[in-house]
Amino acid sequence: MDYPPSVIMRMLQTGIPNLEDKVLRSFSIWVCLTCEMCFARCPMSIDIPKMMDFLREKSINEKKANPKAKEIVAFHKSFLDSIKYTGRLYEIGLFVDYKARTLKILDDLALAPKMMKRGKLNLIPEMIKDRSGIASIFRKSNKKNKN
């Protein structure tokens, strides 16, 4: 993390546009796992994970995502694309799409055959019937978003 969550909150508190911009361009907002630990322990009950979600969405929409978060953002995009077309996550498709986006061709290559051997990978995607319904959800909830 480039700024700890407490510093992110302070930066936003100041209301200085330049600092807000720094937050939106930070790496921290992308490595936050939404583990909810800070919220559980915050003496002021600040819902930091919820703010992180908000900041990530804003950062993407304003095209300010930190370049170091390229792989993380690519993974999220590949994940959403997978469910957009089939309604469910297709793990092989997700891997291929993610590799195409990041050119991390060699990462995790050894994992696939091991998963296959244990019956953990579906060769054929599970497709739901109402795919137009899913498409409509994506279309309508994307109205405000450009991702």
Partner 1 sequence: MTLGLYPGCSLKGSSREYAESVITVAKAFNINLEEIKDWNCCGATAAHNMNKELSLALPARILSLAEKQGLKEIVVPCAACYSRLTMTKYELAKDPELKAAVTDANGLEYTGSVNVLNIIQMLDKYITPNLDGRVIKPFDHRVACYYGCLLVRPHEILKFDREEDPQSMDVLMLKAGATPIDWAFKTECCGAGLSVSRTSSVGRLSGKIIGDAKDRGAEAVIVACPMCHSNLDMRRDAINSYLGEKIDIPVLYITQAIGLALDLDRKALGLQRHFVKVTV
Which residues in this chain contact ligand SF4 in the complex, by CB under 6 A? 5, 32-38, 48-49, 52
DSSP state of 3: S
Looking up tokens 């979600």 gives: 53
Q: Which residues of 36-50 are buried (b: 16+ CB within 10 A; e: fewer)?
A: eebbeeeeeeeebbe
CA angle centred on 58, ends 54 and 59, rounded to 5°: 115
The SS3 of residue 104 is: coil
| Contact string (CB under 8 A) for partner 1, positions 11-40, x = contact | --------------------x-xxxxx-xx
Q: Which of 16, 108, 109, 113 binds partner 1 (CB under 8 A)?
A: 108
Q: How far apart are the first and last CA of the chain?
A: 24
Choose the contact partner of 130 out of ligand SF4, partner 1, none; CB within 5 to 8 A by kind.
partner 1
Judged by CB under 8 A, the chain residues 29 through 88 that form the site for partner 1 are: 31, 33-37, 39-40, 47, 49, 53-54, 56-57, 60, 71-72, 74-77, 79-80, 83, 87-88
Residues 6+ apart with CB under 8 A from 49: 32, 34, 35, 36, 38, 39
CB 92 to partner 1: min, Å: 9
Contacts with partner 1 by CB under 8 A lie at 31, 33-37, 39-40, 47, 49, 53-54, 56-57, 60, 71-72, 74-77, 79-80, 83, 87-89, 91, 95, 98, 107-108, 111, 114-115, 118-122, 126, 128-130, 133-134, 136-138, 140-142, 144-145, 147
